Amino acid sequence: MVLVLALGDLHVPHRAADLPPKFKSMLVPGKIQHVICTGNLCVKEVHDYLKTVCPDLHIALGEYDEETRYPETKTLTIGQFKLGVGHGHQVIPWGDLDSLAMLQRQLDVDILVTGHTHQFTAYKHEAGVVINPGSATGSYSSINYDVNPSFVLMDIDGLRVVVYVYELIDGEVKVDKIDFKKTTASST
Amino acid sequence: MSISPVPMEATMPETASCSEGPRRFGYLRGVQWRIDLGILPSSPSSSIDDLRLVAANSRRRYAALRRQLLIDPQVLKNGSCSPDVVMDNPLSQNPDSMWGRFFRNAELERMVDQDLTRLYPEHGSYFQTPGCQGMLRRILLLWCLRHPVYGYRQGMHELLAPLLYVLHIDLELLSEVRKVYEDHFTDIIDGFSFHENDWTHKFDFKKLPEYMEDCNGSESPVKINSLGELEPKIQTIVLLSDAYGTEGELGVVLSEKFLEHDAHCMFDALMNGTGGAVAMAEFFSPSPFGGSHTMFPPIIESSAALYHLLSIIDSSLHSHLVELGVEPQYFALRWLRVLFGREFALEDLLVIWDEIFAYENTKFNKPGTNDAESNVGVLNSSRGALIAAFAVSMILQLRSSLLATENATSCLQRLLNFPVDVDLLKLLAKAKSLQALAVEAINSTPLLILPRLHGRRNAGFTKAHIPSLDLTSPRTTLNMAHESYWEERWRVLHMEEERKQGSAASAEKQVPNRKKGWSERVRLRLSRTKCDPFRSKATFRKKNETDEGRKNIGGDVDFGHKIPAEVEEQDVKDTNFSTSETRCSSGCPGNEENSSNISDLSTPVRGTNDYVNMSGRSSVASNFSAEENDTDSVNFEPLQANPESSPLPVSELDPDDDTLNSTQNYHSVIKQAAGIKERKLLSDKFQLFWKFGRNINEGTSDRAAVSEDAIACDSGSDCNNVAGSSIVNGCNSTSGISKAEIIDQNLIFSLSDLGQSMLENIQVIESVFQQDPDQMGSLENCKNAIVGEGHITAMAALEELRKISNLLSEM
């Protein structure tokens, strides 16, 4: 029952002022065990805020981040799953599943979390899951102007992960859920 | 889990003193407690089968509960469809969502774990094992989930732990018995032994012949062939663990498998009270008890009841504690919430709980009690009374050390670090002897006591309100004084008018008194009977009492003795003193008159100065008033002929100044040989008086008290309370002290007049003393008492009076 929050592309303060209040009210400290951020926060204040939600924070470097010492990609293990984080602007074409799968194989992870497209997607393919949590603040991207704020919460339990995606559509929070199951236990 | 169980015999102390009759399963605490707590049928005729049935049902309930509440949200996901993801997602704010519940449980669990890790470290070999901890955690979680009102509070785990422990001990006993009487626990058929609890039968043919040989050549000393030959206790144990009885394995009363279920039932019963009065959960509840009319949490009420009981039993200690500002809940909270679990070692605690549970928990129904007099609900049963009595006996155990300290902190330290080497049986015996009293006390704890806490209801009774040691008491009494003061004033004025219209022979002054004692005393005087242990507790509300007293007295005026009456705002208290008593003018007309005088007096003191002066005057009498209002231990048995005491010349602060009058009256009174303890009257509790009197008269009053007591004894009263306590109404000493607590603003009185009259009174008294030997037979009693010590003390008191009056005259 490990809860992992995945979000990114906030672009605070350049393209957005803050997270939507409805999202902020949901992100109560104490419930979430890990936070994965795909990058482009951009300022330290956002980093601090995320730290209050959960002290275990993993960030990948986005092209607009002011703190340049974040790693470009990062891997971590939670329970039976290996997770990988990257921003995604390095993977061309942006948002292309096959290219992302290549990155996933490269990092050797079960779940790959990337962003940059500001669009929520979740793909499953034979080796694992590729998740894009979209933009948590709904900031515009170079390819898309009308963006709904969204983020992802993963509930990792044994060999099963349930992905809850939270989207703010027309002022209402919509939640959706996707189940993924891993076939074999990973060797640690 | 290998605590060596206490040997069989020692485990069951002979608690035959329990009035509830022989304990059927005294040697099996787990079973006995389950019966006492109401889980298993308690009628002596219920058979083992009945017990099994009930046990099985309760276990089923627990199992269902467990399944239902301790559910894992993940498990649900597989099976059922969670209908609405919007509601049921982990971040959902919705409190009903599964996740919400999950998080709340997690929070609860965290709190429980925090406490469990620190549970009974000295018995860690049992309590700190993961199996035991797991059981405790589940039980507590389940209970708290079922009772979200209370949530989890620290201390609940300490109530649960001994329950689990006794069940465990029973099982150990069972296994011991098994070892010895193995034959009865295993069916040996065809040479194979079918152990009841074996999950697999081991058919080991090779071992067969060896086994048979073992059986035959068993070196077990006990070889019994039939169940009937066993000792009854062993027989019961065997039956209670038989797996083939009613309800099969689920009904095995002494069962390891269902340890958790049973412990949960016991815990639930303990917390809920099973319909009785003492429900431990109430002690954890911050909100006022359902039926209570005070707005205080039950723990506060119970603590107040404890103090009330203490004041009945030992008012000097009580007043000492109150003066120091040691509020009962500071220590009683811990005592009551874990039923003394923290004060005693585990083995001792089990003995104590044996006793406590042996008493019935059914609520007392006081017919005709209207709600306004609702007593302390949570202790309102024999069991509750025993708990209160035990707490009081604990306090009494520490009596000498508590009286010796002048510091609230060290008092509390002593109370909270109860000595380890106490004679437990003695404590228990004392508690039992006090239990009957406690029942009375609890039934009559006036709600009025509680107002003292008024405005300080918060759990944290801050230090701020603790009066500083010495003089704060007066201040606190001052607070209380205020509300009654004005009422008193009004009443006094009112009475004044009436009186004036009436035809009081002498101006009567009523001395408003906080301390209840006065009317009480009056009554006592009149009744001169048994020593009543229920001294009026002076609670602050003496309004009724006062009125009554006043009425009583109203008519009789003819004394002219101005006996300072304590106008009692305060209720004296117990129903014991019925007003009828007061009226009893049985044979003590003189007394009555005196009393009436006193009551009628009402002259509000004007200004603090006056008060102070007055108080000075009242000196001794006030000394004791210093004692808290609550305790008043006035037990004066009216003396038959107490000439010395009788002249309590009261302050005649009377503008009319009947000084002469009073003197004359006084003589007449003496002649009447009414057994009055006039002195008593003087207890006025003016807080200011108190200040004065206390310092000055401490010694005097003590001595006076002694004499008073002596006299009292003579008269045949056995009540000797507070021997030596300064409480002894200052009255004694005040023979001659005129306590003029004048309240009447309208009256113009001159202090010098006062002093004058005081002097006169003193003279009178002195002459009485001197005349003592000459008195008539009716005074013989007094004589005896008076001579010697009494005499001396009285003289000393008079000296004091003299000094004071001099002071006053100078003004």
Residue keyed to tokens 């409805």: A22
- Which residue of chain B is at minimal alpha-carbon distance from A165? B89
Residues B664, B764: contact at Cβ < 8 Å?
Answer: no
Q: Do B93 and A26 touch (CB under 8 A)?
A: yes
Q: Do B90 and A155 touch (CB under 8 A)?
A: yes
Pairs of CB atoms within 8 A across A/B: 35
- Write the DSSP symbol of residue B496: H
Mapped to the 3 state alphabet, what secondary structure does B160-218 carry?
Answer: HHHHHHHHHHHHHHHHHHHHHCHHHHEEEECCEEEECCCCCCCCCCCHHHHHHHHHHCC
Binned at pLDDT 50, 70 and 90, residue B187 comes out as low
Residues paired with A85 in a beta bridge: A74, A113
Distance from CA of A69 to the nearest CA of B (A): 31
- Would you say residue B751 has pLDDT above 50? yes
As a residue count, chain B comes to: 811
Amino acid identity of residue A51, one-letter, is: K
Q: Do A31 and B90 touch (CB under 8 A)?
A: yes
Q: Which of A28, A30, A164 sits opposite B89 (nearest CB)?
A: A164
Q: Do B74 and A31 touch (CB under 8 A)?
A: no
- Which residue of chain B is at minimal alpha-carbon distance from A24? B91
Residues B665, B506: contact at Cβ < 8 Å?
Answer: yes
pLDDT at B755 (0 to 100): 62
pTM for the predicted model, two decimal places: 0.54
Residue from B91, B92, B104 whose CB has the most chain A CBs within 10 Å, to mutate: B91
Question: How far, in Å, CA of A53 to CA of A16, rounded?
Answer: 20
Amino acid identity of residue A59, one-letter, is: I
pLDDT at B790 (0 to 100): 57
Distance from CA of A167 to the nearest CA of B (A): 11
A60 interface with B at CB cutoff 8 Å:
no
Contact residues on chain B for A162, CB-CB shorter than 8 A: 77
Q: Which helix (H) or strand (E) holds B475?
A: helix B472-501
Contact residues on chain A for B103, CB-CB shorter than 8 A: 30-31
B707: Cα within 13 Å, side-chain hemisphere: 33
pLDDT one-digit tens code per residue, B190-205: 666 565 554 333 344 4
Contact residues on chain B for A23, CB-CB shorter than 8 A: none
- In three-state secondary structure terms, A175 is strand
E-only strand ranges, B430-571 = 512-513, 567-568
State whether the Cα torsion B459-B460-B464-B469 is positive or negative.
Answer: positive
How many Cβ atoms sit within 10 Å of the Cβ of residue B222?
13
Of the candidates B544, B369, B364, B535, the one whose C-alpha atom is nearest the C-alpha of residue B448 is B544
Q: Which of A153, A155, A175 sits opposite B86 (nearest CB)?
A: A175
For chain A, report the end-to-end CA distance as a whole number of angstroms: 19
Of the candidates B528, B529, B680, the one whose C-alpha atom is nearest the C-alpha of residue B618 is B680
Q: Do B73 and A27 touch (CB under 8 A)?
A: no
Residue keyed to tokens 């009583």: B552
Ramachandran area for residue A118 (φ above 0: left; ψ -120 to 50: alpha; else beta): left
Q: Do B91 and A153 touch (CB under 8 A)?
A: yes
Q: Do B74 and A1 touch (CB under 8 A)?
A: yes
Q: Is B45 exposed, middle or buried (0-12, 13-18, 19+ CB in 10 A)?
A: exposed
Q: Is B368 exposed, middle or buried (0-12, 13-18, 19+ CB in 10 A)?
A: exposed
pLDDT at B294 (0 to 100): 61
pLDDT at A154 (0 to 100): 92
Binned at pLDDT 50, 70 and 90, residue B565 comes out as very low
Q: Do B91 and A166 touch (CB under 8 A)?
A: yes
- In three-state secondary structure terms, A173 is strand
Ramachandran area for residue A68 (φ above 0: left; ψ -120 to 50: alpha; else beta): alpha
Q: Do A164 and B77 touch (CB under 8 A)?
A: no
Binned at pLDDT 50, 70 and 90, residue B70 comes out as low
Residues paired with A169 in a beta bridge: A172
Distance from CA of A174 to the nearest CA of B (A): 6
Joined together, the tokens standing for residue B469 give: 């040691």
Joined together, the tokens standing for residue B755 give: 């002093």
Joined together, the tokens standing for residue B36 give: 């006492």
Amino acid identity of residue B216, one-letter, is: N
pLDDT at B728 (0 to 100): 36
pLDDT at B598 (0 to 100): 40
Q: Which of A1, A26, A177 sits opposite B91 (nearest CB)?
A: A26
pLDDT at A100 (0 to 100): 92
Q: What are phi and psi of A39, to 5 degrees?
A: 125, 180
pLDDT one-digit tens code per residue, B283-332: 887 776 555 556 677 888 888 888 888 888 888 888 888 888 888 888 88
Binned at pLDDT 50, 70 and 90, residue B510 comes out as very low
Residue keyed to tokens 């107002």: B451
Question: How far, in Å, CA of B765 to CA of B732, rounded?
Answer: 12
Q: Which of B77, B85, B103 sits opposite A175 (nearest CB)?
A: B85
Joined together, the tokens standing for residue B653 give: 């602060």
Joined together, the tokens standing for residue B654 give: 């009377």
Contact residues on chain B for A31, CB-CB shorter than 8 A: 90-91, 103
Residues B327, B472: contact at Cβ < 8 Å?
Answer: no
Name which of A42-46, A91-95, B134-138, B665-669 the model is least confident about: B665-669
Residues paired with A113 in a beta bridge: A85, A131
A181 interface with B at CB cutoff 8 Å:
no
Contact residues on chain B for A166, CB-CB shorter than 8 A: 89, 91
Question: How far, in Å, CA of B260 to CA of A22, rounded?
Answer: 44
Q: Do B89 and A175 touch (CB under 8 A)?
A: yes
Residues B554, B651: contact at Cβ < 8 Å?
Answer: no
Q: Do A176 and B74 touch (CB under 8 A)?
A: no
Question: How far, in Å, CA of B160 to CA of B462, rounded?
Answer: 30
pLDDT one-digit tens code per residue, B220-230: 444 455 656 66
Question: How far, in Å, CA of B272 to CA of B313, rounded?
Answer: 30
Describe the strand order of the beta sheet including A120-125 as a list of residue ranges. Answer: A73-78, A81-86, A111-113, A128-133, A120-125
Distance from CA of B86 to the nearest CA of A (A): 5
Q: How far is CA B296 from CA B250, B325, B376, B377, B642, in A?
A: 43, 19, 10, 11, 45
How many Cβ atoms sit within 10 Å of the Cβ of residue B773?
10
Give the residue-averaged pLDDT of B764-787.
53
Joined together, the tokens standing for residue B673 give: 């040989």
pLDDT at B446 (0 to 100): 61
Go through B640-674 and write b for each residue having 16 or more CB atoms within 10 A of its CB, e for each that does not. Answer: bbbbbbbbbbbbbbbbebbbebbbbbbbebbbbbb
Residue from A2, A7, A150, A155 whose CB has the most chain B CBs within 10 Å, to mutate: A155
Higher pLDDT among residues B740 and A132, named by residue: A132
A164 interface with B at CB cutoff 8 Å:
yes
Name which of A127-136, B80-89, B90-99, B221-230 the model is least confident about: B221-230
Residues A36, A85: contact at Cβ < 8 Å?
Answer: yes
- Which residue of chain B is at minimal alpha-carbon distance from A25? B93
Amino acid identity of residue B467, one-letter, is: P
CA B564 to chain CA centroid, Å, is 32
- Which residue of chain A is at minimal alpha-carbon distance from B91? A26
Question: How far, in Å, CA of A27 to CA of B92, rounded?
Answer: 10
- Would you say residue B426 has pLDDT above 70? yes
Amino acid identity of residue B156, one-letter, is: M
Q: Do A176 and B85 touch (CB under 8 A)?
A: yes
Chain B residues at the A interface, defined by Cβ less than 8 Å, are 72-74, 77, 85-86, 89-93, 102-103
pLDDT one-digit tens code per residue, B786-808: 455 556 766 777 787 778 778 77
- Which residue of chain B is at minimal alpha-carbon distance from A172? B86
- What is the percentage of chain B residues whose pLDDT exceeds 90? 0
Q: What are phi and psi of A179, to 5 degrees?
A: -105, 135
A31 interface with B at CB cutoff 8 Å:
yes
Distance from CA of A44 to the nearest CA of B (A): 25
Q: Which of B74, B90, B103 sits opposite A164 (nearest CB)?
A: B90
Contacts of the segment B139-142: beta carbons below 8 A, 24+ positions apart: B139/B260, B139/B263, B139/B264, B139/B267, B140/B112, B140/B116, B141/B69, B141/B70, B141/B105, B141/B108, B141/B109, B141/B112, B142/B62, B142/B65, B142/B66, B142/B69, B142/B70, B142/B264
Residue from B75, B77, B82, B89 whose CB has the most chain A CBs within 10 Å, to mutate: B89
* Mean model confidence pLDDT for chain B: 62
Largest CA distance in chain B: 116
B727: Cα within 13 Å, side-chain hemisphere: 33
Name which of B67-71, B498-502, B519-523 the model is least confident about: B519-523
Of the candidates B270, B284, B422, the one whose C-alpha atom is nearest the C-alpha of residue B361 is B270
For chain B, report the end-to-end CA distance as a whole number of angstroms: 80
pLDDT at A120 (0 to 100): 93
A157 interface with B at CB cutoff 8 Å:
yes
A177 interface with B at CB cutoff 8 Å:
yes
Distance from CA of A63 to the nearest CA of B (A): 30
**pLDDT, one tens digit for every residue, chain A (188 residues):** 889 999 999 998 999 999 999 999 999 888 899 999 999 998 999 999 999 999 899 999 999 999 889 999 999 999 889 999 999 999 999 989 999 999 999 999 999 999 999 999 999 887 789 999 999 999 999 888 899 999 999 999 888 899 999 999 998 899 988 888 887 655 44
- Would you say residue B174 has pLDDT above 90? no
Dihedral, CA of residue B347, residue B352, residue B358 and residue B359, to nearest 10: -170
A166 interface with B at CB cutoff 8 Å:
yes
Contact residues on chain A for B74, CB-CB shorter than 8 A: 1, 157
pLDDT at A84 (0 to 100): 94
Contact residues on chain B for A27, CB-CB shorter than 8 A: 91
- In three-state secondary structure terms, B676 is coil
pLDDT one-digit tens code per residue, B230-239: 677 777 777 7
pLDDT at A77 (0 to 100): 93
Of the candidates B131, B359, B147, the one whose C-alpha atom is nearest the C-alpha of residue B260 is B131
How many Cβ atoms sit within 10 Å of the Cβ of residue B567?
37
pLDDT at B128 (0 to 100): 84
Question: How far, in Å, CA of B111 to CA of B107, rounded?
Answer: 7
Give the residue-averaged pLDDT of B177-188.
70
pLDDT one-digit tens code per residue, B694-718: 444 444 444 444 344 434 334 333 3
Q: Which of B74, B93, B103 sits opposite A157 (nearest CB)?
A: B74
Distance from CA of A93 to the nearest CA of B (A): 33
- Would you say residue B776 has pLDDT above 60? no
Instruction: Select, from the ranges B17-31, B70-84, B301-315, B539-553, the one with the highest average predicted confidence (pLDDT).
Output: B301-315
Give the residue-averaged pLDDT of B104-114.
86
pLDDT one-digit tens code per residue, B343-364: 888 888 888 888 888 887 777 7
Question: How far, in Å, CA of B15 to CA of B651, rounded?
Answer: 57
Q: Which of A153, A173, A176 sits opposite B90 (nearest CB)?
A: A153
Give the residue-averaged pLDDT of B505-517.
41
Question: How far, in Å, CA of B701 to CA of B621, rounded?
Answer: 7
Q: Do A164 and B93 touch (CB under 8 A)?
A: no
